[in-house]
Amino acid sequence: MKIKLFLQIIISLLSFLRRQESRIFYLSFLFLLTFNSLAFAEEKIPVFPTGPVEVYTIYTSLAVFWLAIIGLIVVIKMKLNEIERIQKLGIDKEDINAPLLD
C-alpha cells in the first residue's frame, strides 16, 4: 500500500519535469531518500551479548585494554622526561678532550 502511494507520488512529481536529465536526477534522489528511511525500520542487532559471563568478559577486556593504553602513555612520558634530563646534563654530547682508552 505504501509503495503504491509512493510510486503515485513519484509519477506525479515526474510529470511536472520536462527534461530527461532532471527526471533521472529527481528519481534517483527520491529512490535514495526512500530506501534510507526504510533502512532505519529494520530490526536492531545487539552488538554486545546479553549473557552475564560474556558481558563480564567484554567489559573486563575493555578495562584491561584502556589500562594498557594509559600505561603506555605513562611509559612514553617517563622516557621523554629521561631524554630531556640527559640533554640538559649534556651527557649525550661527545667530549673532544676526553682521554682515549687504549
Residues 32 and 53 in one domain: no
Number of structural domains found in the chain: 2
Q: For residue 64, which phi and psi values (nearest 5 degrees)?
A: -65, -40
Residue-range definition of the domain harbouring residue 68: 45-93
- pTM over 0.85? The answer is no
User: 58 vs 7, which has greater pLDDT?
Assistant: 58
Whether residues 22 and 51 share a domain: the answer is no
Instruction: Note the pLDDT tens digit of each residue in 20-63.
Output: 556 676 666 666 666 655 555 567 777 767 788 888 888 899 99
Per-residue pLDDT, 84 = 92
Digit-coded pLDDT (tens) for 69-92? 999 999 999 999 999 998 888 777
Q: Is residue 7 in a domain?
A: yes
Q: How far apart are CA 21 and CA 25, in angstroms?
A: 6
In a domain, 59, yes or no: yes
pLDDT value, residue 50: 77
Give yes or no for residue 11 having a pLDDT over 90.
no
One domain for residues 81 and 60: yes
83, part of any domain: yes
